[in-house]
Amino acid sequence: MCKLGDIPSPRIVAMGDLHGDYDNTLTILQFAGIANQTGHWIGKDAIFVQTGDVVDRGLDTIRLYDLIQQLREEARDAGGLVIPLLGNHEIMNLVGDLRYVRPEETATFGGAKERSKAWAADGFIGSYLINLNMTTKVGSSVFCHGGIHPYFAKFGVDWINDQTHQSIEGYMKGRGRHGDPEGVFSGEGPTWYRGYALDPEEDVCPMLDAALKMMEADRIVVGHTVQRDGKIHTRCDGKVVLIDIGISYVYGGHRGAIEIIGDQVIAIYEDRKELLSPQPKPFHIEL
């Protein structure tokens, strides 16, 4: 009989809302070991998840979507994986809700008409976004932009994504003004729901436990709700991880991401790392 050592787990890195700030995004990718200073993949076999809201407030929309798509291709060639998700601001722009778009950003497309073409279902940004998922599960962690209420959790991650892909072009054609009020694009849907971030823990943690059990997951990682102190926080005994720390200069330019390896959840900042979950127990296989 012999014992094998600890079985290696995939390294997962996740970042929250970018909101048009290329420079801070690239800096975080560098100190998280995902990209080099020229924006090329160095993450080896890591899995990188970005939880949406790349667009709005800042000016670097085109550069950021180009960067993520480039990293996606390079990661695949290196044995890694990049998983970009839809945020509520992606969906807002796809349906023509431009309330957070700055005139200077529109100018980077060559004007309002050209920007509108880019965000159409056959445009160079729209055609990329309509194929993205709204949520993903990697290992025992579920990722999405806002949060997955038990109403949606009972159907599962794959169902949420299937519903997104089946209805997104119709939702765009209707400019967001039609469809099921309890559907995936609703205010309680995965890109908008803020309960896990804002509601009293005594109310929301039992709901979260139910949702996680339905999805057979240990935790959910979300953006959407800005942590104004620029730090990554957890709630419900670490079962929800809040990673929107205000990366964009519009929110103060806070730089950080999380790393998940096995049961460890670690906040990564430019000058330090902080353990957010307990050390995992050793895992052995006996032969």
Domain ranges of the chain: 12-275
Report the pLDDT value the prediction gives residue 177, as an integer from 0 to 100.
74
pLDDT for the residue 8: 57
All residue ranges of the chain with pLDDT < 50 are: 1-7, 279-287
Fold type of domain 12-275: Purple Acid Phosphatase; chain A, domain 2 (3.60.21)
pLDDT of residue 79: 97
pLDDT for the residue 277: 83
Give pLDDT, residue 175.
87
Q: How far apart are CA 61 and CA 101, in angstroms?
A: 10
Place of tokens 């509520």: 88
Q: pLDDT tens digits, residue range 110-162?
A: 999 999 999 999 999 999 999 999 999 999 999 999 999 999 999 999 999 99
Enclosing H/E stretch for 195: helix 195-198
* Mean pLDDT taken over the chain: 93
Which pLDDT score, from 0 to 100, does residue 9 have?
74
